[in-house]
Amino acid sequence: MATTEERKANKKQNEPILDTVCNGNPDAREYLYLVTRALRIWDDVQDQDHEVTRENLLEAFEILFVQLPTNKFFVQNYDVLLSQHLMIFNTWVAANEREKGDETDKMYSHVWSQSINELLPIVALLTKGYNHMRNTSTVMRKVFQETLPEE
């Protein structure tokens, strides 16, 4: 439930990380943009904390039905990336189900809601190999770590 200002700051912080992760592969970079954009719209619908327009919904449908399935990086790495999409979907649903629970549920919900970040080491592995994946994993865990939200 980031504010508009927090979203802008996060985007500015994340752009160089995403560029490094993709190792100059424009299709990988586009893939990450498409996935994160569709998930942002989905999250806004779920949380109802930002207005979602008709145009936003049409954009999400276009991403999911046209742009993502024709993205070269996604097509070439479909078997690996689809398993990640399934994990992200499953943990995101669980996070939303548990966010109103007890203290333990809320803690797990907070962690599970960030599962999208696990795409970055996978993309790093696919673009540059194992060491790039490990480095990406270390950097992202430091940069993306957040405190638990206040109630």
Residue 88 lies in a domain: yes
pLDDT more than 70, % of the chain: 92
Helices assigned H by DSSP within 23-77: 26-47, 54-62, 68-70, 72-76
Q: How many domains does the chain have?
A: 1
Residue 151 lies in a domain: no
Residue 19 lies in a domain: yes
Domain range spanning residue 92?
A: 4-143
Residue 150 lies in a domain: no
- pLDDT at residue 1 tops 60: no
Helix (H/G/I), strand (E/B), else coil: 144: coil
Tens of pLDDT, residues 119-137: 999 999 999 999 999 999 9
Max distance between CA atoms of the chain, in angstroms, equals: 44
Please report the pLDDT score of residue 148 as a whole number.
67
> Do 136 and 33 meet the contact criterion of CB atoms below 8 Å apart?
no
The pLDDT-based confidence of 6 (bands split at 50, 70, 90) is low
Distance CA 121, CA 41 (A): 23
Residue 115 lies in a domain: yes
Tens of pLDDT, residues 7-48: 676 677 778 889 999 999 999 999 999 999 999 999 899 989
Tell if the pTM clears 0.85, that is, is over it: yes
Please report the pLDDT score of residue 145 as a whole number.
76
Among the ranges given (6-15, 58-67, 101-110), the one the predictor scored with the smallest mean pLDDT: 6-15
**Mean per-residue pLDDT for 79-107?**
94
Residue 49 lies in a domain: yes
Residue 24 lies in a domain: yes
Residue 149 lies in a domain: no
